[in-house]
């Protein structure tokens, strides 16, 4: 903008009267729509282009279009990870040269001078993210322009409007998260399941749940509760798996070997793995309670979920589905797991199993009571107390060695 306090005579013929920008203007469009299911990218993205293009110079056109179908709560590096086939299937008439992260990476190389968007929350709903993107583009000599900002006036007024808009976007984001989290908490308290059902269960529609009216975006998903899997062996397999950790202090590899040795008793799709075993042992839903907020899935790292502390978990007030183990048994298993990870020595049964393995024998539980468990060791059965005293462990080992 020329100064209103100009020279007393005409100096416009001087070479340095105006700062020459040797770069030609190369404006690009940036946009975003949250989801392909609850919104229509085929109409939203072109509408954003029309609004953003109002800030183009006369006769100017966008040289490229960068847009995503992603949540505005995700950082740029988590955007645009969907396959190109997904974007092609959306039938959006606006071409797509990449997503937000692509724009940030390529802006300087492509000689982009201006980035135009409908408003700041089309970049992100988190203020830190929009500020970071703006700063990175500014470092590359790129000006970011939002169509909903006022034209003219003071720089401070323009900045105030921009920051107010960004604050509004972040407050809206936080409000959405609060309402969504509140709804998910009530969902768990009422006994309805989140995510995939654990190994010994299936998720079935709760016929007694309140009828869901058709919402703004179509029919709401039905409420589901957990019921035992039709294959009753799964329940027994999960119970035995937890017992092996709780009473015998076995590590995942040892548990896998026991389960894999008897596939008819412990059925599994494909095969038992470390993650499956540890995941089941750690899953509090096996206690019959519904539990929510065990993991923070959006951490900024693709495919990574951070475990929340137990103090942040949300539990249903009562048992809402048939339990595999008691809550006290689950707690004991977690204590054993913590001890194993800390490098503590194995339990009594682990020593018996190790000695039996050296002799080519297997140790298999046959039945149990509150005070004893009956095991089959090789060709004979042995009743051992719970817990097993060290002197009994030594006696069992000596008996096995003498018998062979």
Residue 116 pLDDT grade (very low, low, confident, very high; cuts 50, 70, 90): very high
Nearest CA to 115 out of 94, 143, 153, 77 is that of 143
Would you state the pLDDT for residue 299?
A: 44
Give how far the C-alpha of residue 326 lies from the chain's centroid of Cα atoms, to the nearest Å: 28
pLDDT band at 325 (very low <50, low <70, confident <90, very high): very high
Instruction: Say which range, 150-159, 228-237, 300-309, has the weakest mean pLDDT.
Output: 300-309
| Token representation of residue 389 | 């005293």
Confidence of residue 238 (pLDDT cuts 50, 70, 90): very high
DSSP bridge pairs for 225: 204
pLDDT at 259 over 80: yes
More confident of the two residues 212 and 280: 280
What is the reported pLDDT for 142?
Answer: 93
**What pTM does this model have?**
0.58
CA angle, residues 96, 100, 103, in degrees to nearest 5: 80
| pLDDT at residue 38 in the model | 60
Evaluate if residue 217 carries a pLDDT over 50.
no
Domain(s) of CATH 3.40.50.1390: residues in the chain? 27-174
Parallel, antiparallel or unpaired: strands 224-228 and 201-205: antiparallel
For the ranges 151-160, 210-219, 269-278, 371-380, the lowest mean pLDDT is seen at: 210-219
- pLDDT of res. 226: 94
CATH of domain 190-208+226-345: 3.90.1750.20
* Residue 300: predicted pLDDT: 43
Q: Is the pLDDT of residue 108 over 80?
A: yes
Average pLDDT over residues 367-385: 84
What's the confidence (pLDDT) of residue 7? 84
Helix ranges (H only) for 39-197 are 41-52, 84-89, 100-110, 127-139, 155-189
The whole-number average pLDDT for the span 202-212 is 80
Using one digit for the tens of pLDDT, what is the confidence trace for 1-17? 566 677 888 887 887 77
Question: Angle at the Cα of 224 (from 223 to 226), degrees rounded to 5?
Answer: 155
Given a cut of 60, whether residue 344 has pLDDT beyond it is no
343 touches 336 (CB < 8 A): no
What one-character DSSP code corresponds to residue 340?
A: H
What is the pLDDT confidence band of residue 93, given thresholds at 50, 70 and 90?
A: very high
Q: In the chain, what percentage of residues exceed pLDDT 90?
A: 38
Q: For residues 118-138, give the mean pLDDT.
A: 88
Higher-confidence residue of 93 and 19: namely 93
Q: State the pLDDT at residue 166.
A: 83
Residues of the chain with CATH 3.90.1750.20: 190-208+226-345
DSSP string, 155-173: HHHHHHHHHHHHHHHHHHH
- What is the DSSP code (8-state) at residue 347? -
DSSP string, 21-35: --SPP-EEEEEEES-
Would the pLDDT of 372 be above 90? no
pLDDT surpasses 60 at 240: yes
122 within 8 A of 32, measured Cβ to Cβ: yes
113 phi and psi angles, rounded to 5 deg? -110, -30
Residue that has been written with the tokens 């204590």 in this structure: 335
Give CATH superfamily name and number for 27-174.
Resolvase, N-terminal catalytic domain (3.40.50.1390)
- Which token pair is 73? 């709560």
Q: What is the pLDDT of residue 228?
A: 94
């Amino acid at each position: 903008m020329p100064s209103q306090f100009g020279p007393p005579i005409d100096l416009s013929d001087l070479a340095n009267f105006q700062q020459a920008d040797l770069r030609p203007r190369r404006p690009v469009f940036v946009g975003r729509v949250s989801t392909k299911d609850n919104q229509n990218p085929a109409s939203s993205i072109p509408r954003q282009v029309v609004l953003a293009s109002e800030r183009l110079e006369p006769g100017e056109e966008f040289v490229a279009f960068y847009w995503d179908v992603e949540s505005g709560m995700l950082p740029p590096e988590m955007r645009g990870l969907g396959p190109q086939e997904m974007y092609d299937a959306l039938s959006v008439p606006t071409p797509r040269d990449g997503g937000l992260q692509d724009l940030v990476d390529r802006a300087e190389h492509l000689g982009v001078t201006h980035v135009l968007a409908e408003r700041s929350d089309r970049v992100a709903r988190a203020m830190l993210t929009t500020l970071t993107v703006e700063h990175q583009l500014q470092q590359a000599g790129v000006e970011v322009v939002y169509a909903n900002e006022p034209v003219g006036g003071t720089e401070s007024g323009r900045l105030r409007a921009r920051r107010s808009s960004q604050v509004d976007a972040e407050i809206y984001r936080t409000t959405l998260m609060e309402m969504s989290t509140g709804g998910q908490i009530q969902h768990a308290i009422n006994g309805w399941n989140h995510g995939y059902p654990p190994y010994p269960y299936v998720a079935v529609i709760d016929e007694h749940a309140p009828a869901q009216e058709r919402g703004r975006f179509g029919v709401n998903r039905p409420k589901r509760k957990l019921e035992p899997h039709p294959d009753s062996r799964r329940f027994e397999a999960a119970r035995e798996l937890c017992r092996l950790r709780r009473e015998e202090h076995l590590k995942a590899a040892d548990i896998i070997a026991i389960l894999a040795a008897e596939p008819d008793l412990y059925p599994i799709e494909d095969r038992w793995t470390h993650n499956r075993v540890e995941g089941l042992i750690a899953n509090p839903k096996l206690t019959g309670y519904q539990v929510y907020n065990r993991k923070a899935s959006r951490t900024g790292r693709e495919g990574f979920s951070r475990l929340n502390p137990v103090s942040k978990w949300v539990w249903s007030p009562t048992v809402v589905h048939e339990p595999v183990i008691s809550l006290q048994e689950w707690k004991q298993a977690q204590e054993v797991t913590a001890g194993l990870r800390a490098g503590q020595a194995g339990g009594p049964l682990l020593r018996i199993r190790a000695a039996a393995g050296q002799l080519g024998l297997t140790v298999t539980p046959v039945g149990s009571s509150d005070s004893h468990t009956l095991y089959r060791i090789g060709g004979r059965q042995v009743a051992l107390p719970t817990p097993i005293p060290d002197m009994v462990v030594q006696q069992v080992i000596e008996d096995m060695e003498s018998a062979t």
